Chain A
């Protein structure tokens, strides 16, 4: 087998590398690792004040900076024993939904779609697919605008804080966001129709799907960590999720009770589909996907369905929430440990902090969706190759890239180019 090296496979967040060896139609080497320079955020927050964790850990990731902010705040509030107001939680939900809308729209059209339409990039698609790209840009714009309205900045938002909101949106802001959301409902439905019409490989992962699950809603900021009926309370996560190192990677790998698993939009759909909005349920039916799905390629469909759901859910909040003038109260600090587990665009995000009696962070642990998915994605590639090994080298690479991108990995979070090295 000749040695084939392909550098800089692209269109993912962050830098990663895949080393593949195939001999006589068998995979001999398969190593998917992050090559992003390590940043050690868990060390950076140690010694800092309890109310600084969100501003610092936001910098883990641009596209999901709201996610890190809300996860950090949730974990810190749990550590110091603070219960936020209902309005605070609703607005955090709205911020999380806004981020999900912009993130899914960006991933679906800019990172995933070109593979399926045979283009090198969304930019190259522009002349022929202007209408489709405009749709993506409309949704991204509304998501970004909402984040800016709620939290002052569209990336690394600042108004969400431990204890509540530093600045509240006005009722007019809520109305304006509602109007903007109304304006992209059709874009989201058309996105579903477009993505359902594409041809996806039939492939089953062996990994279990995990997401937060709740008895009353499409779980997002609370719930147990479940795969079907197999559930763990968030504060017990460290008894079940184990991280390990591999020499070829600058991101950790994770297992759940020793086994590989995957997180993300399709896992959420598997666990929570009955709580989808009516429009989203209609779209799900149209997709013809049977749940629970074990096909990681369905993550793309699931993101499209979630666009519809997220818009509906956000609209409901904008229409029903009457903004009260709430100030952040004086918070008495007590020592403690707290876990924050929330559903973010790419899956479940974990933040955990230990705070001492002076309000200083003494320990932190953060597990990102991509770190949880990395092991499963690597093993999926190993299992996926035998079925496509008869194809040309270019086709194999494209199929493997499609698989990796279906996970919507963010190697900035855990670890930008995927460098495929054939040995």
Chain B
């Protein structure tokens, strides 16, 4: 059973999704293989990624600069056409620069997937409700932006198909994970972004 009980700072909050974010992101990342390069957006998404794959060199995780994860994933995907790149980001961060979906759609790299962990709340700032809890559908926006491969996942059983789409799409792909609103334990990594950048490049390119 992977349903999450709202807890911690999220106590009493409700969302339309019911699947557990940590279990969901872990299952999806496990299905993609350990050579996929990952950009993790700030706050909850970063926690989900680090909890799933550890503080690994193939992960670049944000601690700020909200709104930049998706565009950074695009630059990385274009620079590394033979590697697959996944951006894991939250609904709040994606809403901040939602136009990036259009930028990604027209560039349309087949090796880029964007996964939005949508708990319908701004968890980092105290679980205020986000637009996605009030009717905004980021999957519809991704589709409207022109991204051809789009899936919404509401049940764990739907993850396999979404994972297949991420691996096999011949253009950019987008997955919306409708997760429960929960406040899982914080996952802390060192804040130094230059260290993480150099470690990422060393592992990928053989030099910092």
Do A and B come together as binding partners? Answer: no
Residues of B bordering A, CB below 8 Å = none
Residues of A bordering B, CB below 8 Å = none
